[in-house]
Chain A
């Protein structure tokens, strides 16, 4: 027991000399897989952003033979109508990341606002907001997305909006729970007594104290919305061709010829989704550990 106490004291000394961000950085680095994932994510995002510069061909232009196998000229081959797969893959990553990030932003904003309101005001507002959250959560998620995607014309911005409007209940619940416990703390009570305006209390006092769990949750929402975009586009109800997305590049594999004899058309986009989502999940998991004020084990 004495030994454990001693090591804890040493840890506390170390923390007191470093800033919060340094602590987070130090704890994050412990997760080698997450650090590696972050590098991969950075490289892939960089490649996606720079797609117009580094892509060898125009993604929508017909540049080669139909369904050509990978060769030196077309590293990943060409698709059914002779477009370069590598160029399409780079542009698809751009679209898929855009959908994921925008949907996550929208759902985070909705979830944070509703959670703050429900948690802070309580009473009737809380009941109405939480019952509504229950309703949205009671729908099987994919069913809701599919129905919405069938009703509103499928397309890039509609997919972003649909995913953004169904992903928020988890964040709303999380924020509400945190606000409920923060509301009872002395510094918030002090603010109320001091007569600070409501907007200040909500957004400048409460919100910063719940940013860490929101950030962690948002990474998982990002992973989920990228998976959903892929699934929707795969079913033909997401991003519409000719715009390439990782999901609709896989759509062709529903045909038997592509599946059996042209694996270069569907394996690269599929692997790319797996790599992106796994990396995001690893980073999120390490962030959870690094941002948690109570995690100073090991």
Chain B
């Protein structure tokens, strides 16, 4: 097992380096962050000094290696805009995003797993039809439109829920207050994820229900309950693990738009402001972090596969 994990990590490294190179290449095409600093009150010599201070006078491949070298020392660089270190910026924004993503992931699974299994067991029934139709709706509604609708209904009309931020201004963020702020973003994220997950789990369970070992289980006459809840569901764990693995990059991306709409003080909000400020070190840091998270997610998925499915051989 340990050997397998090591091997997977070694395979992931070239992919990761490739990602940083693509990333850096795109950034270099983008133009200089100095353009954002220019104005009537900034002199040319000040700009030149700034350029040298930021290391922008060197060719881009040298800049890349400088960045990579610093990275290996745990230094992700400094924000061009706020002069904070990128790692501390990410550190302070990571918590809210992880909270939002984690809760949404759990809620979407709590919806999608029972709904998907129900739908598969009762294939072509009215209930199945309803679940599938709703799941299509869930994955087809743009998340920002759903957010606007929820804000319109719950904040503007009913005045029930706060529409922005993570806690009410002037309070120190009691759990119940944060929970109230989380309701709408979580609904939006969970709805869009549950939509595609329901269909995925449904078709995976349908496939399991047609397997020979299930026919054997039926033939043994052990009863519907045991066939479905003992033989079928244990095998359905594999597709469910796949779903969790697939969701991680989706969550990361979805959080960007949701955080923007609800002003949730997480990585997404930070990334959007970094993008509009052309704050390259921050953008690079976020891209790198997200690539690491996605690759780690794939690795964890593979390990979980081995745990839930003893027939998969790790080599």
Contact = CB atoms under 8 A, between A and B. Distances in A.
B276 A150 contact: yes
B120 interface: no
Interface residues of A, number: 40
B136 A278 contact: yes
B295 interface: yes
B148 A259 contact: yes
Nearest to B291: A138
Contacts of A266: 148
A147 B26 contact: yes
B18 A131 contact: yes
Interface string A166-205: 0000000000000000000000000000000000000000
A146 B272 contact: yes
Nearest to A274: B141
B37 interface: no
A245 to B, nearest CB: 12
Nearest to B192: A227
Contact of B136 (A150, A254, A281): A281
Contacts of B252: 140, 143
A274 B145 contact: yes
Chain A binding surface SS class: helix
Nearest to A253: B148
Interface string B137-148: 101111111001
B140 A281 contact: yes
B133 interface: yes
State the majority secondary structure of interface residues on B.
helix
Interface stretch (B48-56, B180-188, B219-227, B253-261): B253-261
B78 to A, nearest CB: 19
Given A131-B15, A135-B22, A250-B148, A231 B275 contact: no
Contact of A143 (B15, B22, B253): B253
A231 B142 contact: yes
A6 interface: no
A260 interface: yes
B148 A270 contact: yes
A298 interface: yes
B156 interface: yes
Contact of A260 (B152, B249, B271): B152
Nearest to A251: B144
B30 interface: yes
A298 B124 contact: yes
Contact of A147 (B151, B249, B287): B287
B299 to A, nearest CB: 12
A235 B140 contact: no
Interface size class of B (residues with CB under 8 A): 35 or more
A148 B26 contact: yes
Contacts of B133: 33
B137 A143 contact: no
Contacts of B256: 140, 142-143, 146
A138 B152 contact: no
Contacts of B137: 274, 278
Contacts of A137: 249
A146 B254 CA distance: 12
A147 B18 contact: no
Given A259-B156, A260-B156, A151 B136 contact: no
Given A131-B15, A138-B19, A143 B142 contact: no
B38 to A, nearest CB: 17
B254 A138 contact: no
A141 B22 CA distance: 14
B145 A143 contact: no
Contact of A274 (B142, B253, B276): B142
A157 interface: no
A234 interface: yes
B2 to A, nearest CB: 24
Interface in B225-239: none
Contact of A277 (B22, B140, B249, B283): B140
A132 B305 CA distance: 24
A138 B142 contact: no
B271 to A, nearest CB: 7
A216 to B, nearest CB: 13
B29 interface: yes
A223 interface: yes
A33 B15 CA distance: 43
B249 A231 contact: no
A227 B141 CA distance: 8
Interface of A: 33, 131-132, 134-135, 137-143, 146-148, 150-151, 223, 227, 230-231, 234-235, 247, 250, 253-254, 259-260, 263, 266, 270, 273-274, 277-278, 281-282, 285, 298
12 contacts: A140-B249, A140-B250, A146-B275, A147-B26, A230-B144, A231-B144, A234-B144, A235-B260, A235-B272, A259-B152, A266-B148, A274-B142
